[in-house]
Amino acid sequence: MKALSIALAILLFLCLADMPYGYYQFVRFAAAAFFGYAAYQENEEGKKELAVVFVILALLFQPFFKISLGRTLWNIVDVIVGIGLLGYGRNKE
């Protein structure tokens, strides 16, 4: 989980650059998958609050129904979530 959370954080930070639309779609798929898995893992470990946070993030990043926040707000979300993932990854394994 540590390596995956760091990799996803890097992907989110790269969203600040002007990338092709396909890149953002890939990040949404990767983020939704990671957050869904992380929610399951944290729930299994009895960390319900963190599991709920990951479920919310999975819903926010899910690729099926686009949530239109605008580029500036998405950049803020990407940075905050990326920093959170670095902290999360640091505490794993």
Alpha carbon dihedral 56, 5, 12, 86, in 10-degree steps, equals 100
The pTM of the whole model exceeds 0.85? yes
Distance of alpha carbon 32 from alpha carbon 38, whole angstroms: 10
Residue range 28-37, pLDDT digits in tens: 999 999 999 9
> Residue with structure tokens 């599991």?
51
Under 8 Å between Cβ of 12 and 92: no
What are the boundaries of each domain within the chain?
2-91
Residue range 16-72, pLDDT digits in tens: 998 998 999 999 999 999 999 999 999 999 889 999 999 999 999 887 887 788 888
Phi/psi at 20 (5° precision): -65, 155
